[in-house]
Amino acid sequence: MKQKNIKTVVAFTLILCLVLSMSSVAFAQEKMITSTVSSFVRDSSTKGTATITAHSSNPNTPYMKSKMTLQEAPLGTTSYTDSDVSPKTKTSNYSSIMHSVTFTITTKKEYRVKMEVTDNTNGQDNTVTFYEYRQ
C-alpha cells in the first residue's frame, strides 16, 4: 500500500472514531433515569400500595415527575384498561423521586399500576414507563 493511501486510511479511521465517540456521548445523555425500584403490594383485600423510587444520572436535573395510573382487567384476563381512579402525580425538585400511593382494589379484578417517571435535562423531558402487577 502506498504511503499516501495509508495516511488517508489512518485519517479516515481517526475521524470515524471521533464521530462515533461523540454520538455515543449524545446517546448516553438521552437516558438519564439510571435506577428504579418499584412494587405494587396487596395490603388487604381492599387496598394495594404502589411505590416507585427513581434516580437521575444528572445531579443538575431541575425536576423529576412520577405518574401512577391504576389499571384493571377482568379476572383471568390480561386486557388492562385505565380504572376510574384519577392518575396520581408527584414532582420532586431533586435528581431523585420517591412516590407511594395506596389504591382501593377488589378481589373481583386483576390490577396493575402503570408508572411513568420523567426527568428534565437541558429543558427536555425524558420519560420511562414501568408496569407493576399486584403481588
Confidence tier at 122 by pLDDT (50, 70, 90): confident
pLDDT value, residue 84 = 93
- Indicate whether 31 pLDDT > 70: no
**C-alpha to C-alpha distance for 88 and 118, rounded to whole angstroms:** 14
The SS3 of residue 98 is strand
What pLDDT is stored for residue 59 in this prediction? 85
* Residue percentage of the chain with pLDDT more than 90: 50
- Opening angle at CA 114, ends 112 and 116, nearest 5: 160
Q: Does residue 10 surpass a pLDDT of 80?
A: no
The answer to whether residues 88 and 50 belong to one domain is: yes
- pLDDT surpassing 80 at residue 23: no
**Residues 19 and 79 placed together within one structural domain of the fold:** no
> Which CATH number do you get for residue 77?
2.60.40.10
Which pLDDT value is given to residue 121?
81
Q: Which domain holds residue 1?
A: 1-30
52 and 113 housed in the same domain: yes
Residues 14 and 37 in one domain: no
Helix boundaries (H) for the chain: 3-30
Give the count of domains, the chain.
2
Report, as an integer, the average pLDDT of 106-134: 90
Q: How far is CA 7 from CA 19, 67, 123, in A?
A: 18, 55, 42
